[in-house]
Amino acid sequence: MTNIREKISSKKNVLIAGALIALMAIGSTFAYFVDRDSVTNSFTVGDVEISVSEPNWDPGEGTDITPNKVMNKDPKITNEGANDAFVFMRVTVPRATVKTANDDGTPNAKANQDLFTFTSNSGWKLIKSSNGSLSSEYVYAYAADKMTVLAPGQTTGTLFDTVKFINIIEEQLDGQDLDILIDTMGIQTDDLGTDSPLEIYNIIMNQQDVPQ
């Protein structure tokens, strides 16, 4: 009888011990291998900024000009921004209906014509021109067949070096102020989808038409 009781008691102890181990397992905390990581990308917004200069222009040369006078005028563009740029110049020249003379002094018939002429330098490409009664516009791209990249800090060659007043016969424009206007334009080189000078110029013009 004693052995039977001891066996029963031993089984109870085993069951109790097993129950305690189960309870301890339920209440315990398990450790796992875990890890975390993250990345932050910082972006800086670039800019396109250009400036135009005419180092050899002397305002005094534009005073009281005479027929056939040649004046120093040498526009060029510098990239002052952080990004590569494609650049353009638009030259607006005054026009008038006037009578001119040939080099030998013989007169020409009166005609509507540009009052100043110039010769563009290599490195620039004429992509658009138009003539009105009061002015003509000439748009040049800094390009050969394709646009030329103007890197930050770089300067283009001059579009032209001099302008020449036409050989008008006197007493037609006496005392009038005549202006040659030069507009410069620049645009980023990336993500345009084209390297065509005319297409890129049209992108600039279309963007300028969008209300701000």
Over residues 103-112, the pLDDT tens digits come to 898 999 999 9
Non-local (6+) Cβ contacts of 34 within 8 A are none
| Strand, helix or coil for residue 52 | strand
Chain centroid to CA 46: how far? 10
Give the Cα separation of 101 and 139 in Å (integer). 28
Instruction: Indicate the range of 1-5, 35-39, 127-131, 140-144 predicted with least confidence.
Output: 1-5
Question: How many separate domains does the chain show?
Answer: 1
User: Quick one: average pLDDT of 43-47?
Assistant: 62
Range of the domain at 54: 50-59+69-94+114-162+176-208
Non-local (6+) Cβ contacts of 168 within 8 A are 67, 98, 99, 100, 101, 115
Look at residue 41 in the predicted model and tell me its pLDDT: 65
Instruction: Give the confidence band of 195 by pLDDT, cuts at 50, 70, 90.
Output: confident
Give the Cα separation of 73 and 58 in Å (integer). 8
Instruction: Indicate the range of 11-20, 40-49, 96-105 predicted with least confidence.
Output: 11-20
* Residue 79 forms part of a structural domain: yes
* Residue 54 forms part of a structural domain: yes
* Residue 83 forms part of a structural domain: yes
Give the Cα separation of 175 and 167 in Å (integer). 16
Task: Give me the residue label for tokens 């650049």.
Answer: 87
Look at residue 1 in the predicted model and tell me its pLDDT: 53
> Structure pTM?
0.79
**Does 23 have pLDDT greater than 60?**
no
* Residue 32 forms part of a structural domain: no
* Residue 36 forms part of a structural domain: no
| Strand, helix or coil for residue 65 | coil
H or E stretch covering 85: strand 85-98
Instruction: Give the confidence band of 145 by pLDDT, cuts at 50, 70, 90.
Output: confident
Per the prediction, the chain carries an average pLDDT of 84
| Strand, helix or coil for residue 111 | strand
Task: Residue 74: give its domain's CATH number.
Answer: 2.60.40
* Residue 88 forms part of a structural domain: yes
Look at residue 107 in the predicted model and tell me its pLDDT: 92
Pairing relationship of beta strands 70-72 and 135-142 according to DSSP bridges: unpaired
CA atoms within 13 A on the CB side of 124: 22
* Residue 38 forms part of a structural domain: no
* Residue 73 forms part of a structural domain: yes
Instruction: Indicate the range of 3-12, 126-135, 149-158, 193-202 predicted with least confidence.
Output: 3-12
**Percent of the chain's residues with pLDDT above 90:** 60
Express each pLDDT in 62-105 by its tens digit: 888 999 999 999 999 999 999 999 999 999 999 999 999 998 98
